[in-house]
Amino acid sequence: MSKVKVPKKKTNWGAYLRRYWQLYFLLLLPIVYFLVFKYKPMEFIMIAFKEYKIGKSVWEMPWAANNGMKYFIKAFKNKDFIRSIRNTVTLNLFDLVVGFPAPIIFALILNELVLKRFKKVVQTIAYMPHFLSWVIIYSLALQIFAPTNGLINVLITNLGGEAIPFLNESKHWVATYIGLGVWQNFGWGSIVYLAAIAGINPELYEAASVDGAGRFKKMWHITLPGIKSTIVVLLIMNLGGIMGGGFDRPFAMRNTLVLDVAEVLPTFVYINGIKGLQFSLTTAVGLFQSVVGVFFLLSANWISRKLGERGIW
Amino acid sequence: MIKSAKTKMGDWVFVFICILVALICVIPMLNLLARSLSSADHLIRHDVYLLPKGLNFDAYKKVLGDPKYLRSFAWTAFLTLAGTLISLTMTTLCAYPLIFEGLKGKGFINILITITMFFNAGTIPNYLLMKQLGLLNNPLVLLIPSCLSVYNMIIMRSFFYGIPDSLRESAEIDGASFFQILVKIYLPLSKPVFATLALFYAVGRWNGYSDALMYITEAKYYPLQLLLYNILNNINSVEIAAQEGFTQPGLSDSLKAATVMFSTIPILMIYPWLQKYFIAGVTLGAVKE
């Protein structure tokens, strides 16, 4: 596409609209959708600074004490909240350290497979966990890891060992949580890297072979540099998400024995907000999470630009 | 090219690693299947591994004879179908106009949309919005609020960008309107991206439960995953157990397994056929304009 700068002509609005009104008409529903479901709720963010009153509009509710900061102060005095921040960051960091490299390694392995058919079968199987819901993954985890009737523990106890509390002791739970995350995502996550690898000029490999480079030399000097920018972009997105994270996974996997490591911000908000009806407090918590999340994302993007990589925008 | 013995050896190592990885993916499913088909005696004795013991289909018969489960299954299937159709329509409506360079206000609309990718109002504001709109306990809440994903919209737009401009331009010269260009040129050429996004949206709806958990309290509107969540966590167990044996040791195991298996089968049957499409879709989503 050539982008030649045309000197600005005066728009003939009549002609323009006669032709373009159809596009605006098509955009009507999506724009209404964004305004109603994405922007309208932002109005309710205000209740983080107000005393929530049923039946009153947000604008009528009285401001909270301490210049409206009452609920932020309350949140930071709340041990459960502090614990939720810690757990959110910790679990996300573990996900990053263990879960981020897994798809890259898997893509590199797949790339070494010679038989295309076999490669395709392995891919299909590896994508499967991505299509399972977290409720189902947790039920599979129960079957495999449960203390008395889980597959692994049955094998261990049959061999005379002691059952491992994969799901009901904090440290083991964290390991299981991270492990299941890897299990679910390593295959799916590899798709992007495989596409990037496919885009590498094959002549580079041939030249390297002529020079006598072995398998791992080629991986290190050609494949990895070839997908470096993909890795960096995805790493930024992951770093930016260090305060974020979904609801489905931690909520499906949490149980009362491991709450000290399993309660994260989204589950904290659900339990205390929608279940506990502390709307102002949990809105404050949600706002805190969003703002810190945006801050992380912007910082990660800025750093990546400074390093000479493309940012995510 | 002639391979050295060392290289061949190496090839086999990678094949071996892949077999191992594939097994790790498949074993939980095999165990699930085995449990769902095994007899209660064996399940109590914990000696069911990868093959069923005391093969029987009682658990499936129970599940298929359970009106509550069947109802939820049909309801979720309906939600998935309706949701996917709505989502594909909305995604097209949003993606198509935005590929036209000449559209005034395009930059502004792009910003409006992009912001929502990075900043969400939050759980409670969203909840209060649903309350205000009268969507709590309304089945529409499972269809409308999540009907348009910006990520998927970007995938579709990237696909549209890949359709040669010349096709569109020649149609424009022939006097075709933007509606006609969409229907006659873009839609027929976009089957791959529709297949991909249909899969993404359908899987999202089939697997999702958090919206129902937050916005729906009436059990008759529960989608399958929420019902499963409740069964697995023994919520409502009194009611279910009374009729269906969910607390009977052994039987409860195979029943749970059969329920989970049955809820997974639709997706497991579909996704392998769409592999080449969703690979292209994910790749499109990762490419920046």
Within 10 A of B235 (CB to CB), how many other CB atoms are there? 13
Confidence of residue B239 (pLDDT cuts 50, 70, 90): very low
Residue ranges of alpha helices (H) inside A65-159 are 70-77, 79-94, 101-111, 116-127, 134-145, 151-158
Q: Is B129 in Cβ contact with A112 (below 8 Å)?
A: no
Q: Is A30 in Cβ contact with B94 (below 8 Å)?
A: yes
Residue whose C-alpha is closest to residue B245's, from B58, B6, B12: B58
Q: Is A47 in Cβ contact with B128 (below 8 Å)?
A: yes
How close does chain A come to B242, measured CA to CA in Å? 22
Judge whether B61 and B255 are in contact, CB under 8 Å.
Answer: no
Partners of B214 on chain A (C-beta within 8 Å) are 270, 274
Report the distance separating Cα A151 and Cα A132, nearest Å.
20
* Averaged pLDDT of chain A: 90
Read off the pLDDT of each residue in B17-31 and give the average, rounded to a whole number.
95
The domain A70-306: what is its CATH number? 1.10.3720.10
Q: Is A287 in Cβ contact with B122 (below 8 Å)?
A: yes
Confidence of residue B251 (pLDDT cuts 50, 70, 90): low
User: What pLDDT digit, counting tens, does each position of A12-38 carry?
Assistant: 888 888 889 999 999 999 999 999 999
How close does chain A come to B216, measured CA to CA in Å? 12
Q: Is B90 in Cβ contact with A195 (below 8 Å)?
A: no
- For chain B, which domains are there? 1-56 (no CATH), 58-286 (1.10.3720.10)
Judge whether A281 and A272 are in contact, CB under 8 Å.
Answer: yes
The 8-class DSSP code of residue A285 comes to: H
Coil, strand or helix at A208: helix
How close does chain B come to A123, measured CA to CA in Å? 9
Q: What is the dihedral of CA B153, B159, B164, B168, to 10 degrees?
A: -30
Q: Is B148 in Cβ contact with A30 (below 8 Å)?
A: yes
User: What pLDDT digit, counting tens, does each position of B264-282 carry?
Assistant: 999 999 999 999 899 988 8
Asked whether the predicted pLDDT for residue B79 surpasses 80, the reply is: yes
Report the distance separating Cα A134 and Cα A138, nearest Å.
6
Confidence of residue A309 (pLDDT cuts 50, 70, 90): low
How close does chain A come to B229, measured CA to CA in Å? 6
b (16+ CB within 10 A) / e for A47-79? bbbbbbeeeeebeebeebeeebebbbebbeebe
Task: Find the residue in A nearest to B175 (Cα).
Answer: A19
pLDDT (0 to 100) of residue B74: 95
Structure tokens at A215: 């398998």
Question: Number of H helices and number of E strands within chain B?
Answer: 16, 0
Q: Where are chain A's structural domains?
A: 70-306
Q: Is A195 in Cβ contact with B268 (below 8 Å)?
A: no
Residue whose C-alpha is closest to residue A38's, from B169, B144, B263, B29: B144
Partners of B210 on chain A (C-beta within 8 Å) are 247-248, 251
Q: Is B18 in Cβ contact with A113 (below 8 Å)?
A: yes
Partners of A119 on chain B (C-beta within 8 Å) are 18
User: What pLDDT digit, counting tens, does each position of A179-190 carry?
Assistant: 999 999 999 999
Q: Which of A187, A191, A286 sits opposite B283 (nearest CB)?
A: A191
Mutate to test the interface with A, among B3, B48, B103, B124 (most CBs of A within 10 A): B124
Report the distance separating Cα A40 and Cα B112, nearest Å.
13
Sign for the CA dihedral angle at B260, B265, B266, B267 comes to positive
User: What pLDDT digit, counting tens, does each position of A138-175 carry?
Assistant: 999 998 998 888 899 999 998 988 989 999 899 999 99
Can you state the percent helix, strand and coil of chain B, rounding each to 5?
A: 75, 0, 25
Judge whether A274 and B127 are in contact, CB under 8 Å.
Answer: yes
What percent of chain B stands above pLDDT 70?
91
Q: Which of B22, B116, B225 sits opposite A133 (nearest CB)?
A: B225
